[in-house]
Structure 1
Amino acid sequence: MKSDTTQSFSRPAKPWRIAVLYIAEPYHCYHLAPLASALAARADCTVTEFVNFDACLPHIQRIRAKLRQPELPRAPLRRPMAARLLEATRLLDKQREAILRANVSTLEPYDAIVTTEYPAALLRQAGLRHPKLIYLTHGSGERRVGDEHLLKHFDLALVSGPKTVNYFLREGICKAGQIKDIGLPKFDLAGPHLQNAQLKTPARARAPQNILYNPHYKKKLSAWPRALKALHSAFMATRRDGQELLIAPHVKMFDESWGLLKRRFQKLASDHVHVDTGSVAALDMTNAAQADIYVGDVSSQFYEFLHTPKPCVFLNLNRLPWRDNPYFRNWTLGDVVEDPDAIMDAINAAPARHHLYKAQQEEMLQETFGPWPLLGASERGASTICTFLKATRQG
């Protein structure tokens, strides 16, 4: 008599096929690559990277080396002639649109597409159907962005903290189940310098007072041409012993200037004035880590400086009506200067006045990046993505 030893086994689900889409300039890599590595480390994921700009490749390699993670499989994007011409003429926003529209069939077989750009929503309009579109924030500031309404076309949005979640829900851009806060994956690059939830300055010879000027590229908000001239002139005339000034604008400022604007900034360099127009230090938080005082306007890079509460000065030379405006909440965390002649006085007074803002900075840090340690956002993001995909598969 034959015995029945048949047993039933459930077949394991196939790993998720995830496309990581680097559609923007190199500074986005520092947000996206750590998350890509965390996804690739999971047994339930296979990751393929798609890179739009060749300039991103050395940055991705540098990030992998810093994380001590292997390189990931990479596949090419289709590049129609129109996209090549737009890139050659530095019309990068239009170039991205052309690349996205040309690669719907390339990306369609994947289960999910992870990217840092709102315009990736154009993939849906161009016919993308199967993959889930997942957005990863690449900034944590309050400035309103013109194309943020496109987020409603994404299936999942990963943002840095409760502040951004509440904003998108309040504005009706996302629904509650569509958005999760995970922290900032870029912080994972800080590695050994990030201890006790604080980013420590890399060991090197430091000036007693490093001043970082980090203007945004939007002239209407930053008035940087006036502010730059006023700050540089005042610093050169009244510099105190031990003070060093680093001028490091948002790198997007130089996208369409054909190098002319970079040369304009670089001419300001001298013994105690340093200019960074796009080095790795401007992208991987080194500049923020080494600064003692932040001077700026609306750049979200301010929050990378604020990992540890420190003195800040905000320049409002355009005299914008910022009080009680939710898009300028960062300006409540330091003195706001409207008179060009008062800039250096405010900078020199900032350390002594920091006690007036420290508690509020700590509160804003929690609101911006969540209650968890700054390290670990990449793993939280990878786990959130896979939990979301599992729920959609079961549903």
Structure 2
Amino acid sequence: MSHKIAIIFLDEIHHIYHFVSVAVELAKSNQVHILTHSRKNTFLYESLKKLNDKNVVVEKMPTVAFRAFTDRLKGRQLPRKGFWIKKHKKYILTNFDAIIFTDYYHKYLLKVREDRIKPKFIFLEHGTPGRAYAYNKDILDFDFHLQCGMFHNTSLKEMQLLNDEYKVTGYPKLDVVKLDKPEPIFTNNKPTVLYNPHFTPPLSSWHFMGLRILEFFYKLKDYNLIFAPHINLFNKVGGDDPAVIPQKYHTADNIHIDLGSDKSVNMTYTKAADIYIGDVSSQVYEFMTNPRPCIFLNPEGVDYKDDINYRFWQCGDVINSITELKEALKSSKENHQKTYKSIQEKITSENYYTEEGSTPSERAASAINEYLDNVL
């Protein structure tokens, strides 16, 4: 049975690899429309082309004219989701059998849908669940939930957040990144460190020691440094100002800075680095799909050992101060082999469901098709 399916994309580009391959698989037997804003969508089109898509329809839809004007005044790169959705809610709710979301902005449509049988609301995660954000009670609003691994499934069940209808299918982003050709970041043979802080101020190491870390590697020429924070740290409205980063770091031979290009979201840097330094960004789980040394920064001395939100800190040394960084780097390889490699492998198997003979994107599309065939 063929269905008409919408995927709403109103976010920064780091969401794209989490849904685009599923869209392409779904479009082999359904009408699939990506509903998005009217700004430039270069990375979206490039991603569809990479997957040899011929069927997905991209609909670029403007926000309310007055809001578009105020967005420009405020320097917003993306329209505010609520106003955009309210403008197009009638079209969305009357033309599709299902709507796929990668974040919790379904609320704008939930009340309007009321008790109608369709469209069904489907939730597709936009990253590996790693913090409280992944355990939002709003998950229960969705009619169907696709999950990337058994750890998240079990955690949701324990927290009474497991939907009545769900399927564990794997991590679709991994299907897309394998099509990207790796590019060398540095031409020397020094070990390369990735510093990947999160954007949330109470949790991010950037706001406590970020510039000191850049200075540390600026002076210590034994390592290359890739500084590629979560895309929202400098690109989101209200985020940090890139001007706080001194020019000398941009021009240093052993430092590469990327505050939000395509490469910061397509695993270019997590694949290129030998050592990961971070705090609470779940990108470390993507890094660990190929186990390597990790160092975690805990400048506030958080009591993390029995906290599910810091599960990734089991996978490397945790330090509280930059004065500990040199020794942590020096011992990272040995500590990884002795202690952390096996933990990383276990956590990766818990995070990402795999199955011989099919890909995560194929399994996700098949699960959605089966669900819709059964309920519509």
Fold shared per TM-score above 0.5 = yes
Residue 248 of structure 1: which of 228, 241, 258 is its match? 228
Does 2:121 align with 1:139? no
What SS is found at the alignment partner of 2:57?
Answer: coil
- Structure 2 residue identity aligned to 1:81: A
If you compute each CA radius of gyration, which structure gives the higher value, 1 or 2? 1
| 1:369 equivalent in structure 2 | 352
Deviations 1:201-237 (A, max 9, x none): 5578563411000000012112312221232222233
Return the alpha-carbon distance in structure 2 between the equivalents of residues 156 and 331 of structure 1.
Answer: 31
Residue 266 of structure 1 contacts residue 275 of structure 1 at CA under 8 Å; is this kept in 2?
no
C-alpha spacing 1:53/1:227, structure 2 compared with 1 (3 Å): farther
For 2:108, give the aligned amino acid.
Answer: L
Q: Counterpart in 2 of 1:81?
A: 65
CA distance in structure 1 between the aligned counterparts of 2:191 and 2:45, rounded to whole angstroms: 33
Q: Does 2:59 match 1:64?
A: no
C-alpha displacement at 1:172, in angstroms? 1.7
Quote the residue 1:119 is aligned against: 105
Deviation at 1:90, TM superposition (A): 5.2
Aligned length: 368
Equivalent residue in structure 2 for 1:261, among 213, 228, 241: 241
CA distance in 2 between counterparts of 1:257 and 1:349 reads 39
* Partner in structure 1 of residue 203 of structure 2: 221
Match of 1:173 among 161, 166, 176: 161
C-alpha distance in 2, partners of 1:224/1:271?
Answer: 22
Which one-letter code corresponds to 2:156 in the other structure?
A: F
Query: What runs of 5+ residues in structure 1 fail to find an aligned partner?
Result: 1-12, 194-199
Label 1:166 to 1:274 Cα distance change in 2 as closer, same or farther (>3 A): same
CA distance in 1, matches of 2:20, 2:318: 35
Alignment of 1:30-45 (within 5 A): 30-41=17-28, 43=29, 45=30
Provide Cα deviations, 1:54-73, integer angstroms capped at 9, x if missing partner: 24x21111112222223622
- TM-score (normalizing by structure 1): 0.86
Instruction: Tell me which residue corresponds to 2:147.
Output: 159
CA distance in 1, matches of 2:213, 2:357: 32
2:278 to 271, 296, 307: 296
* 3-state DSSP of counterpart to 1:31: helix
Q: Percent of aligned positions with the same letter in both sequences?
A: 26
Letter in 2 for 1:360: I
The normalised TM-score by structure 2 is 0.90
1:76 deviates by: 4.1
**Structure 2: which 5+ residue stretches go unaligned?**
none
| 1:22, distance to aligned residue in structure 2 (A) | 0.8
Checking the alignment, whether the CA contact within 8 Å between 2:235 and 2:260 is kept in structure 1 is no
Q: Output the CA distance in 2 between the equivalents of 1:244 and 1:202.
A: 15
Q: Separation in 2 of the partners of 1:147 and 1:385? A: 22
Change (3 A) 1:121 1:182: farther
User: How well do the aligned residues superpose, as a CA RMSD in angstroms?
Assistant: 2.5
- 2:12 paired residue among 5, 22, 25: 25
Note closer, same or farther for the CA distance 1:125–1:266 as it changes in structure 2 (3 Å cut).
Answer: farther
Relative to structure 1, is the Cα distance of residues 311 and 151 closer, same or farther in structure 2, using a 3 angstrom cutoff? same
Contact 1:141 1:299 in 2 (8 A): no
1:359 aligned to 2:339? no
Q: Which amino acid aligns with 2:344?
A: Q
Alpha-carbon deviations, 1:42-98, whole Å to 9, x = none? x3x11112112524x211111122222236223343522354256332568981122
